[in-house]
A and B are shown apart, each in its own frame.
Chain A
Amino acid sequence: MINKIAASIADALAGTRDGATVLIGGFGTSGIPNELIAGLLEQGARDLTVVNNNAGNGDTGLAALLKAGRVRKIICSFPRQVDSHVFDALYRSGKLELELVPQGNLAERMRAAGAGIGAFFCPTSYGTPLAEGKEIRVIDGKPYVLEYPIRGDLALIKAERGDRWGNLIFRKAARNFGPVMAMAAQRTVATVYDIAELGELDPEAVVTPGIFVSQVVMIPRVATQAGGFKKAA
């Protein structure tokens, strides 16, 4: 019998190795798998490379993992936010390596990894500092930049509902990077607020089919908190 439901986050994250590349879903605070990040903090793996759109908000979640000195390198599109003080301090003191990637390349490089694509030519960043040192090719008169896949050892994503085969549906714009990260990692762990019986999720509405998911953990529902912008006084 296939049963991807993990009894606990600790069980799901056991065996995460030092030096792993961890893809962490979310955009700002929406879709950030806070419970899994807390689990990774507890699990103890070090020297991690983290891929996320941002570089943490406030002092919790990804920021806490950075603060604990567990991350060697972060690959992201938009580290600087009004509440990214943990990242800012580590970056400025040279304790954290940054690979800045345009957001579309971040998504597509992971999609490529998941789809078995060796590399791709993309128009984004041509003629900019972010294309320096990269191969350029003119195709049908238009210049493109060569980009390579980003593979994860582990993806941590937040979904809304899942079943024991690992099928997932998401909630609103919290979907963001979840589906591409699930494709791109060797192991994908998803949290859900509810576990469905097999057949209960509408097959027409499944967003991430179970083939891309290794383990599903149910967590109590917590409302997503604000973050990443200046609140009106």
Chain B
Amino acid sequence: MAFTRRTKDQLAQRVARDMFDGAIVNLGIGMPTAVANHLPPGIEIVLHSENGILGMGPAPAAGDEDYDLINAGKQPVTLLPGGAYFHHADSFAMMRGGHLDICVLGAFQVSATGDLANWHTGEKDAIPAVGGAMDLAIGAKQTWVMMDLLTKQGASKLVERCTYPLTGVGCVKRVYTDLATFECTPQGLKLIDAVEGLSHAELERLVGLPLRAA
């Protein structure tokens, strides 16, 4: 049966649907940033930015940019009423001390048991850069990944064992993709949902790993 991939916006909506009122959330650079545009109405989320912001708001209007108020991607943002600034050691204490409820990260690969690879492709001539990825991955109460399920070549990014250098071990709880949503457990992958028309068997074939029903 035919199935359609979730668009980037639909994927962001799917992630946003699982956010809860009052959650303190860190959205990683790239795809996860879009989640902020799709939060369900009526719930209040506090966004954390690694460079010392809680209560981060949307981009300012053109002409109102203030480059002393930027996000982790170095782009201008705003501060919501109730927001606060703090220094880097406090900001990372919030992550590493387990004070963030949810962080959403992009990934190159995630293993069935929740190992994350998202900072380095392992190419010899690549300039390594880790930023706050390793701190975020292991620190939040829940680490969620948002990515396309397959590479451009059709290989699954959900794998038995990551071949790229690791960011963290067993730290990913959920993986939201354009085709399905998964939970990583010490016993392997559980399927939470899949796009309409994509059968369990077909999805297992694409991933190449057994998927338990949730």
| Cβ contact of B70, chosen from A30, A53, A126, A207, cutoff 8 A | A30
- A77-B129 contact, Cβ under 8 Å, with A126-B138, A176-B52, A224-B67: yes
Q: Which of A47-64 contact B (CB under 8 A)?
A: 53
Inter-chain contacts of B70 with A (CB < 8 A):
27-28, 30, 173
A80 close to B135 (CB less than 8 A): no
Inter-chain contacts of B74 with A (CB < 8 A):
27-30, 81, 226-229
Name, among B51, B115, B165, the residue most crowded by chain A CB atoms within 10 Å (CB to CB): B51
A107 close to B68 (CB less than 8 A): no
Inter-chain contacts of A79 with B (CB < 8 A):
127-129
The size of the chain B interface, using a CB distance under 8 A, is: 45
Interface status of A3 (Cβ within 8 A of chain B): no
Interface of B is mostly: loop
- A171-B68 contact, Cβ under 8 Å, with A27-B51, A78-B130, A229-B74: yes
CB distance from A162 to the nearest CB of B (A): 16
A225 close to B67 (CB less than 8 A): yes
Inter-chain contacts of A98 with B (CB < 8 A):
128
Inter-chain contacts of B64 with A (CB < 8 A):
none
Inter-chain contacts of A223 with B (CB < 8 A):
67
Interface status of A166 (Cβ within 8 A of chain B): no
0/1 string, B137-167, CB within 8 A of A gives 1 = 0110000000000000000000000000111
A107 close to B88 (CB less than 8 A): yes
A102 close to B135 (CB less than 8 A): yes
A100 close to B128 (CB less than 8 A): yes
Interface of A is mostly: loop
Interface status of A194 (Cβ within 8 A of chain B): no
CB distance from B95 to the nearest CB of A (A): 6
- A176-B127 contact, Cβ under 8 Å, with A103-B50, A127-B166, A225-B67: no
Inter-chain contacts of A178 with B (CB < 8 A):
87
| Cβ contact of B51, chosen from A102, A105, A173, A224, cutoff 8 A | A173
Q: Which of B51-88 contact A (CB under 8 A)?
A: 51-53, 65-70, 73-76, 79, 85-88
A104 close to B49 (CB less than 8 A): no
Q: Which of A73-95 contact B (CB under 8 A)?
A: 77-81, 87-88, 91-92
Name, among A102, A111, A170, A171, the residue most crowded by chain B CB atoms within 10 Å (CB to CB): A102
A92 close to B125 (CB less than 8 A): yes
Q: Which of A88-130 contact B (CB under 8 A)?
A: 88, 91-92, 98, 100-108, 110-111, 122-130
Bound state CA distance, A227 and B70, in angstroms?
A: 10
- What residue in chain A is nearest B119 (Cβ atoms)? A128
Inter-chain contacts of A225 with B (CB < 8 A):
67
Bound state CA distance, A173 and B65, in angstroms?
A: 13
Inter-chain contacts of B166 with A (CB < 8 A):
127-129
0/1 string, A27-43, CB within 8 A of B gives 1 = 11111000000000000
B88 close to A176 (CB less than 8 A): yes
Q: Which of B121-138 contact A (CB under 8 A)?
A: 125, 127-135, 138
0/1 string, A8-30, CB within 8 A of B gives 1 = 00000000000000000001111
A172 close to B132 (CB less than 8 A): no
A102 close to B132 (CB less than 8 A): yes
CB distance from A38 to the nearest CB of B (A): 18
| Cβ contact of A78, chosen from B87, B93, B96, B131, cutoff 8 A | B131
Interface status of A177 (Cβ within 8 A of chain B): yes
For the complex with contacts A80-B128, A103-B132, 18 further pairs of A-B residues with Cβ separation under 8 Å are A27-B51, A28-B70, A30-B51, A30-B70, A30-B74, A81-B74, A92-B127, A107-B88, A107-B89, A123-B138, A126-B138, A128-B166, A172-B66, A179-B89, A224-B67, A225-B67, A226-B65, A227-B67
